[in-house]
Structure 1
Amino acid sequence: MEYTRTVEALKEGTVIDHIPAGQGLKILRLFRFADTGERVTVGLNLSSRHMGSKDIIKVENVALTAAQANELALFAPKATVNLISNFEVVKKHKLELPEAIEGIFACPNSNCISHTEPVESHFYVRPQGTDTKMKCKYCEKVFSKDIVAEVR
């Protein structure tokens, strides 16, 4: 089988590749890539030699930091995050689950003070078996990452 590129090359920006199929839209929404004002290319259920099928996100003129890339590890632990400059990969972030995540997710506990006080959300992240648990800094309740991800 001949391999063909199904998503246009990026001159400057970030490519998040090898996202498990079905996680691309969740990552796009949670990390607000569409709000950057830059062109975002999303490929869903693309053919992959290594994964069978995968999702991919390309964001022009946005360079993710290592900390931002690590936040992606919650939903795509084996993803690759490549920084592109002049069509070349200039840096690859190796993903590691962060110890904490701030300002991305809302606490699922409706009684948590993070909903009424002017504070950024803050969760401590702990892997637990095949799941990842997130503990709110303020109310100290523990949730599965998928429950936290569904709250807006």
Structure 2
Amino acid sequence: MDYTRTVEALKEGTVIDHIPAGQGLKILRLFRFSDSGERVNVGLNLSSRHMGSKDLIKVENIALTEEQANELALFAPKATVNVIENYEVVKKHKLELPETVEGIFACPNSNCISHKEPVRSFFYVSVKKSDTKMKCKYCEKVFSKDIVVEVR
């Protein structure tokens, strides 16, 4: 099988590659890349020699920080995050699961004070038996990552 590039090169910005197929739109939504006003290229179910199929996101003129890149590890732990300047990779973020996540997800517990008070959501992240768990700082309830991610 021949592999060809199906997405144009990026002059400035961030490339998130090797996203498990089906996770790209979730990452796009959660990190609000489309709200940035910058051009965003998204490839879904692209051919991959290593993964079979993958998703890919290229965001122009936005350089993800290490902290932001690590938040991606919740959805795509083996993703590559490359910061591009003048068509060259100037930084490769090595993803590590963050210990905490703040302000991205809403707590699934509708009685949690984070829904009624002007506070940013805050979760402690841990892995138990290969399942990522998130514990709300405010109500102290523990949820599977997949439950927290779906609530908005």
**What is the TM-score when the length of structure 2 is the normalising length?**
0.98
Partner of 2:58: 58
Corresponding position: 1:21 with 2:21: yes
* Cα distance in structure 1, aligned partners of 2:67 and 2:60: 19
Gaps of 5+ in 1: none
Residues 85-122 of structure 1, C-alpha deviations (whole Å, 9 max, x = no match): 01111100000000000000000000000000010000
Partner of 2:94: 94
- Structure 1 segments, 4+ long, off by >4 Å, are none
Q: Which amino acid aligns with 1:56?
A: L
Q: Which amino acid aligns with 2:19?
A: I
Partner of 2:46: 46
Q: Percent identity?
A: 86
Q: Give the secondary structure class of the aligned counterpart of 2:50.
A: coil
Identify which range, 12-21 or 26-35, moves more after superposition. Answer: 26-35
Shift of 1:131: 1.3
Partner of 1:4: 4
Residues 31-68 of structure 1, C-alpha deviations (whole Å, 9 max, x = no match): 11111110000000000011110000000000000000
Gaps of 5+ in 2: none
Shift of 1:82: 0.1
Partner of 1:116: 116
Shift of 1:3: 2.4
Partner of 2:67: 67
* Cα distance in structure 2, aligned partners of 1:11 and 1:147: 37
* Cα distance in structure 2, aligned partners of 1:95 and 1:55: 17
How large is the RMSD of aligned CA atoms in angstroms? 0.6
* Cα distance in structure 2, aligned partners of 1:142 and 1:2: 46
